[in-house]
Chain A
Amino acid sequence: MVRTYLLLAWTWLRASAQYPGQLATMAIGSFAVNALDVLAIWVIFEHTGSLAGFGLAEVMFLYGSAGLSFALSDMLFGNVDRLSQHIRTGTFDTMLIRPASAFVQMAVDRFGVHRFGRTAQAAVVLGIALSQLDLPWSRAWMIPVMVVCGIVIFASVFALGGALQFLLTDAPEVANAFTYGGGTLTQYPLSVYGGELVRGVTFVVPLAFVNWQPGLFVLDRQDPFGLPYGLRFAAPLAALILAAVAAFAWRAGIRRYRSTGS
């Protein structure tokens, strides 16, 4: 699967090299749009010293780590949310006749440099936050773990969104609410939201494990919602469970696939 992904990604990159100008514009554009997000956070802190109990560097840390997870996941798998388009035009059929995973083919389709813009921006924000925070290694080890778990969680959400499109070919936007909505939700400390929502994203769609719960450990903070301490280490478990559910849903979706006429 990894081999197929890399092979196809490399092929698409070469194909897209035919339009270098367009590529640079898109990568820079994507970087700039996301940089505005950071500007928004900075503007908030111009008016207040803290956001729901978190200082600027801490918010930047939560933003950057979730952003990095989401950006990498979006870069690698985000294209899956175009599934309904491929179903409607019949190109999904042509993926199914190849001896390769349909999920991988969907994910890597039209892979291009423009997918790197957001990743670069998130990495820069995370880097700045880390240099401000000066974290001890006894807590910083969690950072790579949470980024990887975050990638798995977002990838699973993308796969679930894709699986949903096997049923709702006409409404891909429903899936976007969870994928891009989840990406945006995790950019801020969850304490800015209500308790009901936080319980939902902890125990139903486990977005709280992308950066919030492990982030509380890294930042050594009390949980404003008083949830058990052990949840801070539950991100790998949450990621695994969600990935299993997503894989099951995707397979069920393919079994129910109806193709189009002709």
Chain B
Amino acid sequence: MIEVDRVGRSFTVGRRRTRTTVHAVQDLSFTVEAGEFVGYLGPNGAGKSTTIKMLTGILAPTSGRIQVAGLDPARRRTALARKIGVVFGQRTTLWWDLPLKDSFELIRHLYKVDRVDFRRRLDELTGLLDLAGFMNTPVRQLSLGQRMRGDVTAALLHSPAVLVLDEPTIGLDVVSKAAMREFLRRLNADHGTTVLLTTHDLGDIEKLCRRVMLIDHGRLTFDGTLDDLRATVPEETSIEDVVARLYTDGSVSP
């Protein structure tokens, strides 16, 4: 479903004399099969968001090859958009001044979703994410938890095969977080939606992800199950400590 083959992305920063090249992502390769639930971990600035942006076609890679749902994201951006769902935890993709209901209706038109399918899907998501209470509220007036549920709904109305989430639980309270996790778990289990999520919350990883990938300084440093991840640092017991060790050491020897 997702194939990343020796992908690199560099940025030139600074002006004239101070110009340097930053390698945000280097020689990155991994494959995600249909129906997988993958957590993508890494410290701030490791290259997580850059990877997500390349997978969704926002950024073009400087080297290597990417295929998502059979398409090259940067070249086939709009075609890919119909097949994937994207959620940015840090910013909304909804229309700020529009009521949630209108945003969804607009998405139905933009994604050319059949009216009957749309109705059924929206009813399902409204039930699961408990949206009924604020359907007519403009997005700018929603709480963070409500907005996030709206964003996730918006990303799923066209029934994408792949859902990419960049920090979907950031800033959410415990209850909202638990609800969001349960929703994502069911989405993956019931619909077989392939999910890739980045997070700093290791609870997300423990509760949801059968597979974990770790990126540091733009390179993939670990790819395996949660148990494998624990086994890399046997002397630490909590997953928090394991990951903290991996971040500070910078490399993993399997």
Contacts and interface: CB of A to CB of B under 8 A. Distances in A.
Interface stretch (B31-39, B54-62, B205-213, B233-241): B54-62
A97 B93 CA distance: 9
Interface string A112-123: 000000000000
Interface stretch (B78-86, B222-230, B244-252): B78-86
B98 A11 contact: yes
A101 interface: yes
Interface string A240-259: 00000000000000010111
Interface string A49-92: 00000000000000000000000000000000000000000110
B81 A98 contact: yes
A65 B95 CA distance: 35
Interface residues of B, number: 29
Nearest to A105: B110
A122 to B, nearest CB: 28
Interface string B81-116: 110001010111101011000100010011100000
A7 B60 CA distance: 29
A258 B62 CA distance: 11
Interface string B9-42: 0010000000000000000000000000000000
Contacts of A259: 53, 58-59
A89 B98 CA distance: 19
Interface string B152-168: 00000000000000000
B110 A99 contact: yes
A93 B98 contact: no
A94 interface: yes
Contact of A94 (B60, B78, B88, B111): B88
A97 B11 CA distance: 21
A120 to B, nearest CB: 25
B183 to A, nearest CB: 20
Nearest to B53: A259
Interface residues of A, number: 24
B110 A101 contact: no
A18 B97 contact: yes
Contacts of A97: 56-58, 81, 86, 93
Contacts of A99: 78-79, 81-82, 110-111
Nearest to A94: B93
A44 interface: no
Nearest to A97: B86
A15 interface: yes
A169 to B, nearest CB: 13
B146 interface: no
B177 interface: no
A100 interface: yes
A7 B95 CA distance: 13
A15 B82 contact: no
A144 B111 CA distance: 36
B102 A258 contact: no
A29 to B, nearest CB: 21
B106 A255 contact: no
10 contacts: A4-B110, A11-B98, A15-B98, A90-B91, A96-B57, A98-B78, A99-B110, A101-B78, A257-B59, A259-B58
Q: Can you list the 5 inter-chain pairs with the closest CB atoms, starting with the nearest?
A: A99-B81, A94-B93, A97-B86, A15-B97, A96-B58
Given A259-B58, A262-B49, 20 more contacts: A4-B110, A7-B106, A11-B106, A15-B95, A15-B98, A18-B97, A91-B91, A93-B53, A96-B56, A97-B57, A97-B58, A99-B79, A99-B81, A100-B110, A101-B78, A257-B59, A258-B11, A259-B53, A259-B59, A261-B49
